[in-house]
């Protein structure tokens, strides 16, 4: 065997050494991958615990009591299958026996058929034929005044105008008056059914215990009340949707516009470098600080003082600056830095060759941005926008500061309305002493998670659809 040259020799030696170290290197790789696996498992357990807690509170076992049991009202048939006439008979029977029953019947007719805000003078002065002009009413009451109607006549008016299911809801709310005096969680129900049964028998003799989901269509669509068994999330959902839409309208044009300016127009100078640094840092500012800013700027200065965000300059006088508009402006400020940064990266990722192609044909800067850069960057931009919106939907602190209400009795109906949002509602319910509000809060959390997941899914679908199109498939 010929001897190798010294350099080759030393190279060979290094390699043999490396070979001996291979076992060590592999062992090291295995150790690290075990640590990473551990981290994943830890995260997974956390996620399972989170969902477990929410589901454990959202489903459970309850005792339901009634002022009048349904079996007494309708012994042979399920109550919700009764005809309008039969339901009407139950109502009219009940209100006739009750003292002040007639007042309640009048309120029902007024709120459901004439509107809460009807002029009291019309109500007391005009006959039925004019109050109900153009609608169905029994002919014999035509000449009577509203206050002269008897309970059966009032109920007849209801029957002729509203649906069977609405009547059923009225029977439930006014006659049955279901209450849930006690509830147990899902796990308690699964493992301690017998103990729950004996406990319930002792406290509420004769009442049945049953499985119950606190999340239901009724919960999502009902108005807020102070009773956990009847309360609903509708006002908070409407508020969240209002703020979401308005935030989109404000922050998307501003955010994408700023990103386009910084990437495509601005000359690189010290000023733009400073601007970018500031934006990057703003993205990390705690959200409550945006709340303080919103309070000072939008609620106080632009609202109570200038009269813009409270609608005074538009002729609206019944609100202060704590409106949906103020909340949306605050949220827009909060997510603008994130939208700008994401859009900038998406725009930067558009290949320079596409820009050159566009300019090379004789496009102006504006045309290049609109026809080439934006369409190519859109999937990335949209993903960033939707993810930051998802963040905004879950934010609580800044909106509490800006004046989100925890108890709202009417649906928001304009950008100058007072508002509540889902996370604020959850926050307020979890701080109630009555433990059943924990169940209600869990149902609201599931609603919020549902909205967030929908937004994230939309981001993924949009991204895939667009990038497929761009790749030319």
Binding residues for another protein, rule: CB under 8 A, are: 267-268, 351, 353-354, 356-364, 367, 371-372, 375-376, 469-473
Q: What is the C-alpha to C-alpha distance for residues 172 and 178, in angstroms, rounded to an integer?
A: 7
Q: How far is the CB of 363 from another protein (least distance, A)?
A: 5
For residues 373 and 446, which CB has a smaller minimum distance to another protein in the complex? Answer: 373
Tell me the C-alpha distance between 132 and 160, whole Å.
11
Q: How far apart are CA 48 and CA 42, in angstroms?
A: 10
In the bound state with another protein, the residue whose beta carbon lies nearer, of 17 and 267, is 267
- What CA–CA distance (Å, rounded) separates 324 from 330? 10
Q: What is the C-alpha radius of gyration for the chain, rounded to an integer number of angstroms?
A: 32
To another protein, the closest distance from the beta carbon of 269 in angstroms equals: 11
Cα separation of 27 and 368, whole Å? 53
Whichever of 8 and 470 has its CB closer to another protein, that residue is 470
Cα(154)–Cα(214) distance, integer angstroms: 34
Closest separation in Å from C-beta 468 to another protein? 10
Nearer to another protein by Cβ, of 122 and 371: the residue is 371
Rounded to 5 degrees, what angle do the CA atoms 288, 291, 292 make? 95
Q: How far apart are CA 432 and CA 90, in angstroms?
A: 36
Q: CA geometry: angle at 138 spanning 132 and 144, to 5°? A: 65
CB 131 within 8 A of CB 123: yes
Q: Are the C-beta atoms of 373 and 347 separated by less than 8 Å?
A: yes
Closest CB to another protein among 326 and 358?
A: 358
In the complex, what is the shortest distance from the CB of residue 374 to another protein, in angstroms, rounded to a whole number? 12
Least separation in angstroms between residue 296's CB and another protein is 40
Of 30 and 469, nearer to another protein (C-beta) is 469
For the CB of residue 464, give the shortest distance to another protein in the complex, in Å.
Answer: 15
C-beta closer to another protein: residue 271 or 314: 271
CB 254 within 8 A of CB 332: yes
Collapsing DSSP to helix, strand or coil, 171 comes out as helix
How many CB atoms neighbour CB 86 within 10 A?
17
Q: How far is the CB of 470 from another protein (least distance, A)?
A: 4
């Amino acid at each position: 065997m010929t001897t190798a040259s010294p350099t080759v020799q030393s190279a060979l030696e290094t390699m043999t050494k490396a070979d001996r170290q291979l076992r060590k290197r592999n062992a090291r790789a295995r150790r690290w991958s075990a640590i990473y696996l551990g981290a994943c498992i830890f995260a997974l357990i956390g996620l399972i615990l989170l969902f477990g807690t929410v589901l454990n509170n959202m489903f459970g076992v309850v005792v339901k009591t009634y002022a009048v049991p349904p079996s007494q009202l309708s012994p042979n048939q399920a109550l919700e299958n009764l005809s309008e006439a039969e339901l009407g008979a139950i109502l009219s029977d009940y209100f006739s026996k009750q003292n002040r029953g007639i007042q309640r019947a009048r309120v029902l007719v007024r709120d459901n058929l004439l509107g809460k805000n009807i002029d009291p003078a019309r109500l007391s002065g005009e006959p039925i034929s004019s109050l109900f002009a153009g609608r169905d009413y029994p002919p014999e009451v035509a000449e009577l005044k509203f206050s002269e109607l008897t309970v059966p006549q009032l109920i007849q008016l209801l029957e002729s105008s509203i649906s069977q299911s609405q009547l059923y809801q009225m029977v439930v709310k006014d006659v049955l008056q279901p209450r849930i005096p006690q509830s147990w969680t899902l796990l308690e129900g699964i493992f301690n059914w017998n103990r729950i049964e004996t406990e319930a028998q002792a406290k509420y003799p004769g009442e049945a215990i049953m499985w119950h989901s606190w999340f239901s269509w009724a919960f999502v669509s009902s108005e807020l009340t102070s009773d956990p068994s009847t309360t609903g999330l509708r006002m908070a959902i409407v508020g969240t949707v209002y703020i979401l839409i308005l935030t989109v309208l404000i922050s998307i044009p501003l955010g994408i516009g700023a990103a386009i300016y910084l990437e495509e127009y601005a000359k690189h100078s010290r000023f733009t470098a400073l601007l970018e640094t500031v934006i990057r840092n703003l993205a990390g500012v705690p959200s409550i600080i945006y709340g303080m800013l919103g309070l000072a700027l939008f609620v106080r200065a632009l609202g109570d003082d200038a009269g813009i965000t409270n609608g005074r300059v538009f002729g609206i006088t019944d609100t202060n600056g704590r409106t949906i508009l103020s909340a949306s402006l605050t949220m827009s400020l909060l997510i603008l830095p994130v939208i700008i940064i994401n859009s900038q990266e998406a725009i930067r990722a558009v290949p320079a060759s596409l820009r050159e192609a566009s300019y090379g044909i004789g496009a102006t800067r504006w045309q290049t941005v609109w026809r080439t850069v934006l369409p190519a960057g859109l999937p990335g931009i949209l993903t960033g926008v939707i993810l930051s919106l998802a963040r905004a939907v879950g934010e609580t602190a800044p909106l509490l500061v800006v004046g989100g209400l925890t108890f709202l009795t009417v649906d928001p109906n304009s950008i100058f309305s007072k508002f509540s949002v889902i996370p604020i509602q959850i926050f307020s319910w979890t701080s109630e002493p009555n433990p059943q509000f924990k169940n209600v809060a869990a149902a609201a959390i599931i609603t919020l998670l549902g909205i967030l997941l929908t937004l994230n899914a939309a981001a993924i679908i949009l991204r895939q659809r667009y990038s497929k199109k761009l790749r030319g498939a």
